Each structure stands twice: as C-alpha cells, then as structure tokens.
Amino acid sequence: MRVRKNGSSVPLGRGGCHTYKDNSILMRKSVILLFLMLLIMLLLIIPANAETTQWYNYEKGMDAASSMEKPVILDFYADWCGPCIVMENSTYPDPRVVSELKDFIAIKVNTQIRIDIERKYKIAYYPTIVFLDPKGSEISRHVGYLGPEDMVQTIQESRGKLPKETPGFQVLYLLLAVSLLIIGKRITG
C-alpha cells in the first residue's frame, strides 16, 4: 500500500515497488547470510581438534620411550636458526608428519639451553634430527632442513632401520609341538 499526501492509501499491485534503498538493504542481508553459511561450512569441514605431535623435554621423553618401548625422534634446534623455525611452523604441524610420528616419542632439544645433550650426540649443525631405537641407540640422523614430504620419507626410512621383534619362546614351543605331532604320526602311521 502506498499512502497519499492526503492520508488515503493506494494499492501498489502485486509485488509492490522497491526503492534503491530497499535493494541495498536486501543485498547487505544476502551477503551477510552468504558469509554466515560459508563460515558454518568451513567450521564443519575443518576438524576442531586437529591432531598434533606431543613433544617432550629430554628427560621426560627418554623415560616415556623406555617405559612405552617406543623409538625416539630428537629434534636439535636453536632459536636463531631460520630452517629450525620454518620446520617448527610448517613441517611438524603437517598432518602427514603428525601421522608418521605417532609411533615415536618426540623430543625437542634447545641447544642453547641443553649444551650437555648437544655434546652427548655430537651436534654441530642445526637443525639435526636423530632417531633412536627404544633402548636409546642411534639408528639414523639427518642434518639440515626437511620439508613435510622429505620428513615423512626420513621417518619411514628410520622406522625401517628399527630392530625387528624376534619370535618369543611361545613360537618356539609351537614349532616344537607341531614337529612332535608330525613325528608321532609318522611313527604310528
């Protein structure tokens, strides 16, 4: 309805008449609605609690590796080291790297503070990554920057160098029992 100057109203017809101001308000509401829908979709797509690697200090990490019988990755870094900072911000948070590190106890060693550990492992350049077996023996090391893909490959190669579990006495008893059964059948049969 449209109101005349004299107060009477006149129907505008089916859709009514929109002014430029009405279109502008409608456009703003549409943009805001679209923005909210996109935001909701992003929140649904991105996991709220993306997995990260749990990093230990040296003593706690070595204790955890010993008690859980897990291999260790030692990341030797310095605060002033550019490649170390890039790895901290891009390599280690990468989901592929996080997934590969699940089987390891991850330990960060700040060589500016822990000079004793730096000397123990004879670290001369940064970053240096050292892989240890569950007993603490070194199995491999890498000196220098690693991007996510190279880090995944390095972790997989180091995992391949870990000592394989040898069959326990249970397997030997099982083999002995099967052998005795076969010998017994040959004697009686």
Q: Is 84 a catalytic residue?
A: yes
Q: Name residue 132's beta-bridge partners.
A: 72, 138
1: helix, strand or coil: coil
Per the CB < 8 A criterion, the answer to whether 152 and 142 are in contact is: no
Helix/strand number for the chain, H first, E second: 7, 7
Amino acid at 161: K
Cα 103 from Cα 128, distance rounded (Å): 20
155: helix, strand or coil: helix
Q: Which of 73, 74, 84, 107 is catalytic?
A: 84
Q: Which of 65, 74, 81, 130 is catalytic?
A: 81
What residues are labeled active site?
81, 84
